[in-house]
Amino acid sequence: MKHLISIDQYDYQALHTLFENVSKEKYGFIESNYPKKSQIATLFYEPSTRTSASFHSAAIQLGYSVLPINEVTYSSVTKGETLEDTIRTIGSYVDLIVLRHSEKGAAKRAAEVSTVPIINAGDGNGEHPTQTLLDIYTIWKTFKKINGLTVTLMGDLKNGRTVHSLIKILRHYKVKINLISPDSLKLPKEYYKNSDIEYSIFPKDLQTDILYVTRIQKERGSKEDYKLSYDELISLPSNAIVMHPLPRAGEIPVLFDNDPRAKYFEQIKNGLLVRKALLRELLI
């Protein structure tokens, strides 16, 4: 049985097999058939409408059914049940579990006892591999290559799980990475290590192929304002793209949404396609 726990499971070859499958929309609708229809559970210990909705719709579009468990905190789970027992229980009902949990390593623990495939939909400050796969797919889909590109990461580079995973997956490619962040939210040293990626801090002249913007959470406290203006955005190179994992909180003005370089809503659509492919691969 296969699980999707970490982007470390994806090397260059695995990534490009996925890209091809997604772009061909290889996996279509499965007619429901006797004796039962495949079901997935979205087991969310932390709320995430966006991610659970994406998996829900992906499953439906493939012809699967969904058991949504989005209120775990209020449920029997709080009667003292361990994650492991819940996984074994829900795994008796469905064919695959999409798990969002507040603790790092939760998805791995779940996979160790599960009788059905587990997809990690975010484990605390651990990983959120399907977000990373949709990000890298969006880059590949746009440029039809990844080697040779310049990727600028901007925002909260200290706490941003999304950014950290993207940096890790980019190690499979020869890319240039620029970083832009407030002093208090700089990228942790560990992400500079073990990599042949070149970093350059605070480029004055933003020559980049990708500008990947993330939200600065107020509670993580930077007094600096990392909101981009419309003027700054339209002055980007004509073939550059602007990405954001969403939700945004003013980092990118709505006025820019209709610019062809704005790719953040296409990321949403790509997320659906990527998740459809992943569900099918794990359920075949």
What is the smallest separation between the CB atom of 210 and its own copies, expressed in angstroms? Answer: 21
Is 258 near its own copies (CB under 8 A)?
no
Residue whose C-alpha is closest to residue 172's, from 18, 3, 13:
13
Is 262 near its own copies (CB under 8 A)?
no
CA 279 to CA 27: how far, in whole Å?
A: 9
Whether 30 and 63 have beta carbons less than 8 Å apart is answered as yes
99 pairs with which residues across the strands?
43, 120
Number of residues that bind its own copies (CB under 8 A): 59
State the DSSP H helix or E strand holding residue 150, giving kind and residue range, or none if neither.
strand 150-154
Q: By CB under 8 A, what part of segment 77-96 binds its own copies?
A: 77, 79-82, 84-86, 88-90, 92-94
| Closer residue to its own copies in complex, CB, 1/201 | 1
Contacts of 198 (CB under 8 A, 6+ apart): 176, 177
Whether 151 and 175 have beta carbons less than 8 Å apart is answered as yes
| Closer residue to its own copies in complex, CB, 51/142 | 51
- Measured CA distances, 250 to 115, 163, 176 (Å): 43, 18, 27
Active-site residue (options: 3, 56, 128, 215): 128
Residue whose C-alpha is closest to residue 151's, from 180, 170, 178, 182:
178
| Closer residue to its own copies in complex, CB, 171/217 | 217
> Cα 265 from chain centroid?
14
Select the span of 138-146, 189-197, 203-211, 248-256 touching its own copies (CB under 8 A). 248-256
The residue from 29, 112, 147, 255 that contacts its own copies (CB under 8 A) is 29
| Closer residue to its own copies in complex, CB, 168/280 | 280
Binding site for its own copies (CB under 8 A): 25, 28-29, 32-37, 39, 41, 47-51, 53-54, 56-57, 60-61, 63, 65, 67-72, 74-77, 79-82, 84-86, 88-90, 92-94, 215, 217, 246-250, 254, 265, 268-269, 272
